[in-house]
Structure 1
Amino acid sequence: MSEESKPSGPDLTKGVSPTEFKDGKLLGHVGEEDVLLVQAGSEVFAIEPACSHYHGPLAEGLVVGDTIRCPWHHACFSLRTGEATRPPALNALAVWEVARDQDRILVQRKREMPKPSTSHRAAAAPEKFVIVIVGGGAAGFTAAETLRREGFAGATTMLSNDGAMPVDRPNLSKDYLAGSAPEDWLPLRPEDYYRDAGIDLRLNTNVSAIDPKARSLMLGNGDKMPFDRLLLATGAEPAKLQIPGAGQPHVHTLRSVADSRAIIKAAGSAKRALVIGASFIGLEVAASLRARKLEVHVVAPEERPMERVLGPEMGDFVRALHEENGVNFHLKDTVERIDGHRATLKSGGVIEADLVVIGIGVKPRLALAEQAGLATDRGVSVNEYLETSAPGIFAAGDIARWPDPHSRQNIRVEHWVVAERQGQTAARNMLGRQERFDAVPFFWSQHYDVPINYVGHAESFDDIAVDGSISGKDCLLKYRSGGRVLAVASIYRDLDNLKAELDMERSRA
């Protein structure tokens, strides 16, 4: 075999000494396979060393009890079984049996992988229960999968108004849009998964009304569908720009696979792109279009990109990073109209662009909840179990506003990982588990070779403590209000970010 593909570290079948461990971990191999040894208390576990999400190095992760957390995107795995216990990872990792021979630790045979559709606990809900999920995004998909993992064998239907199966949406503005990830990476599960798991996935299906008292919903085609438990996971839609010319064919928003495909197709013949909005999505689109060698201009009303979330110093860094990569900024300005390929700015400037992408934020899809008379407050109001004001109807993902024990506020966030974790909790509670949703919010954003990880939630802050160098791409920022740390952002301080998440979990009110 080539030098590049040789397995790492010592041969674990021959045994290693505990003194060879570094920070409780040791990377070695069994045959041709890399294996990570992890010390957790008095026990030693052997697990596959790369996260099943984006292959983050677990050797650089954080051990919490008998679990290990990925440093990149905070997925969590059981060291005993390899099961993915927290998104964004969905697939289990291989584990090996560990033995001790006096003062040596030996790794022996690989254990059987856990079956994804079974659970150690029987489902509390009767099999004749009918569970309906409205939405085919992160929360809806994870809820359906969790129902099966928890042992629920009853009817489970997912109604999605999208034409594509549930996909890894963060990729739509990142690697897939940049051309560095193929389209077959996008689906969260292949088509046959839904058939094998007994999940009735209906694409291109609209729901027109919900009747909470009759426990039924009306489909767009007029059919009625009964339910015993209902999850609303309708997500969000891109905010529209109300200016002349915004409806032209070369003007795009980005939310779905179809949107991303359309932008990629347009980029193939475009020379100059205009991105309206310096949001996370807007700037990820800008970076991806630069990867496709387009000239890119960004117009936004703020003085600094992302300042409201990340603060002024990080905002200046993000702008400088994009400028180093060829992006042209037009800040403290707005687009007033688009005549053909000619965009006129409020300042009087003009940008000629043959591709326009609008990224000015999203708004939650609340129409169904409002029609059904559910309590809303800039989102669908839910309790700590993610149940709405109507018993038996739950909400998760971008539409849900829940009581967050760390910030001590009712919050709604539009993060992929939060939606996935809420889908898990909502599924368990539809089965009668009474499990509080108390996960600390987390998201990541990628700009060229620079990842920004953010944990917690700060609607506002009065102080930012910076450890390290932002310009040197090695920093940890703590966003505080009244002396309390509400959120932490980092660049290449992955382990510190994981520790901040754990601190927030342990300091819940």
Structure 2
Amino acid sequence: MSQDQEPQTPDLTQGVTLSQFAGDKLLGHVGEAEVLLVRSGDEIFAVGAHCTHYHGPLADGVVVDGGIRCPWHHACFDLRTGEAVRAPAFDPIDCYRVEQAGDKIIVREKATAPARRCTLKAKPQRIVIVGGGAAGFAAAEMLRREQYDGDIVMLSQDTDGPVDRPNLSKDYLAGSAEPDWIPLRGADFYRDSKIDLRVGTEVVSIDGAQQAVTLKGGERLPYDRLLLATGAEPNRLPIPGGDLPHVHVLRTLTDSNAIIAQAKDARKVVVIGASFIGLEAAAALRAREIEVHIVAPETVPMARVLGEDMGRFVRALHEEHGVIFHLGEGVSAISDKAVQLKSGQEIAADLVVVGVGVKPRLDLAEKVGLAIDRGVVVDRHLQTSVPGIYAAGDIVRWPDPHSGRNIRVEHWVVAERQGQVAARNMLGANEVFDAVPFFWSQHYDIPINYVGHAEEWDEIVVHGEIAARDCLLEYKLGGKTLAIASIFRDADSLKAAAAMERGLAPV
């Protein structure tokens, strides 16, 4: 390492004094690796300094109950073992051996992670997972992590294996993420883990009494436990021209690739819908220097989710980057080269992206006779009304202890965490799903983090300044804070989530 590349942090192999390590975290290095000293209670740990999800800086994270949480997307790692105990991270962080001599703390070599012991007693011979998205992947990965050695069959209608879906409307669509970043795991993972992943596979029925699924083509697969994780599908516009080749929804890798292919020659894009997907797609396409118009019926984008003040900020942010809004508007027709608005205005368009929400895929759930209430009804353990069938992800309506309501949300991290809990429960864990919902959205260089779930509110309390891009908003109903949105208040967002888990006021 050259002189100008030498790290500016302390060499932890030489030791630091207790007075140097006054807080609960201290960033240092071991050789060329950045290493974080962490104090949790009376113990001191040394771990890798970056989250294994998107390389977030754990030095800016929060220590909670023997774990450290990433400030970017709220992954959590066990300080003792390094295990990624909460999605969206799946790979562990490194752990190092720590010695204390007098008032000096010295970090030694990497520690070997202890072998994972299987403590769950249920041993189903075959688990079938219907769905290849966030929940399905997280469940399969957790089953093998828990040392389950039975058959795992994952059936996905998608033509690709599980991918990092949030990236499809963000960096990947913008052209700043490499294609090999997108799969959650390569083909060798499924082979080595003996997970029978079948893409392009349609399940046509489930027999809950005989515990079997039937595939298109007639093959019948028995199961001992089944996870239904069919996700959601994008809404499409039932208007003239809505099915033209240059009109796209954005849900799968195939969708994103199709938009990218047409964006190479496009000069003007119309995005229909000011949803998170629509707005993120607009930002990504502006990064490709394409003229972008957004058409949406609301007068303030995202006001229903974030409130009017934050919605106006989001609009102004996009306008700073050249996006042109047509709000309070609808689309009546699409032609080869233009989008016709209901007001009569016509907008030239080489490419159209439709982002007008999604609907849960409930056909299979309805056919098998699961209890349905605007989603698949599950208990606290994510088990459906039919024994042996669990559900996770966008289709699920579950009893949320934080809001006191049955809720359904369409968030990536929620789906992954539900998949993990469902996997353990299929092995007999009897674990309650009580995670606080979390999602993030990226608009140019501005991240918005959201913790909790507020379908309605009667008060929004703003801490800091939205316009200054330094704020935390509380969404309250009857004096109780149901959700928190924040910009560049990562530690506060983490602390709010931890407080909500304990049933405490988050601010």
TM-score by length of 1: 0.98
> What SS does the corresponding residue of 1:245 show, helix, strand or coil?
coil
Deviations 1:37-66 (A, max 9, x none): 011111110000010001111001000121
> What SS does the corresponding residue of 2:19 show, helix, strand or coil?
helix
Please tell me whether residue 301 in structure 1 is matched to residue 306 in structure 2: no
Counterpart of 1:21 in structure 2: which amino acid?
F
Counterpart of 2:142 in structure 1: which amino acid?
T
Distance 2:332 2:3 in 1: 58
Distance 2:41 2:382 in 1: 34
Counterpart of 1:204 in structure 2 is 200
* Structure 2 counterparts to residues 56-455 of structure 1, below 5 A: 56-113=56-113, 119-126=116-123, 129-455=125-451
Going from structure 1 to structure 2, the CA distance change for 1:288 and 1:2 (only over 3 Å counts) comes to farther
Contact map agreement 1:238 1:253 (CA 8 A) in 2: yes
Alpha-carbon distance, 1:346 to partner: 1.1
Contact map agreement 1:8 1:34 (CA 8 A) in 2: no
Counterpart of 1:104 in structure 2: which amino acid?
K
* Structure 2 counterparts to residues 452-463 of structure 1, below 5 A: 452-463=448-459
> What SS does the corresponding residue of 1:496 show, helix, strand or coil?
helix
* Structure 1 gap ranges (5+): none
Distance 1:263 1:289 in 2: 9
Distance 1:215 1:424 in 2: 22
Distance 1:230 1:208 in 2: 15
Deviations 1:191-227 (A, max 9, x none): 1111111111111110000110011111011111100
Alpha-carbon distance, 1:422 to partner: 0.1
Going from structure 1 to structure 2, the CA distance change for 1:28 and 1:236 (only over 3 Å counts) comes to same
Contact map agreement 1:99 1:107 (CA 8 A) in 2: yes
Counterpart of 1:345 in structure 2: which amino acid?
L
Deviations 1:421-479 (A, max 9, x none): 00000001111111000000000000000000000000101100000000000000000
Alpha-carbon distance, 1:7 to partner: 3.0
Contact map agreement 1:7 1:29 (CA 8 A) in 2: yes
Distance 1:410 1:463 in 2: 22
Distance 1:262 1:188 in 2: 20
Counterpart of 2:503 in structure 1 is 507
> What SS does the corresponding residue of 1:20 show, helix, strand or coil?
coil
TM-score by length of 2: 0.98
Distance 1:412 1:156 in 2: 27
Going from structure 1 to structure 2, the CA distance change for 1:6 and 1:165 (only over 3 Å counts) comes to farther
Alpha-carbon distance, 1:122 to partner: 3.5
Alpha-carbon distance, 1:21 to partner: 2.4
Distance 1:394 1:508 in 2: 30
Distance 2:114 2:78 in 1: 11
Going from structure 1 to structure 2, the CA distance change for 1:240 and 1:3 (only over 3 Å counts) comes to farther
Deviations 1:272-292 (A, max 9, x none): 000000000000000000000
Deviations 1:147-168 (A, max 9, x none): 1111110011000111111111
Distance 1:23 1:107 in 2: 17
Counterpart of 1:190 in structure 2: which amino acid?
G
Going from structure 1 to structure 2, the CA distance change for 1:17 and 1:183 (only over 3 Å counts) comes to same
Distance 1:498 1:102 in 2: 34
> What SS does the corresponding residue of 1:193 show, helix, strand or coil?
helix
Please tell me whether residue 31 in structure 1 is matched to residue 27 in structure 2: no
Counterpart of 1:450 in structure 2: which amino acid?
I
Contact map agreement 1:377 1:401 (CA 8 A) in 2: yes
Distance 1:148 1:446 in 2: 32
Please tell me whether residue 51 in structure 1 is matched to residue 51 in structure 2: yes
Deviations 1:326-368 (A, max 9, x none): 0000000011101221211111111010000000000000000
RMSD across aligned C-alpha pairs, in angstroms? 1.2
Counterpart of 1:12 in structure 2 is 12
How much identity, in percent, do the aligned residues show? 62
Going from structure 1 to structure 2, the CA distance change for 1:508 and 1:398 (only over 3 Å counts) comes to farther
Alpha-carbon distance, 1:23 to partner: 3.0
Distance 1:8 1:94 in 2: 21
* Structure 2 gap ranges (5+): none
Alpha-carbon distance, 1:125 to partner: 2.0
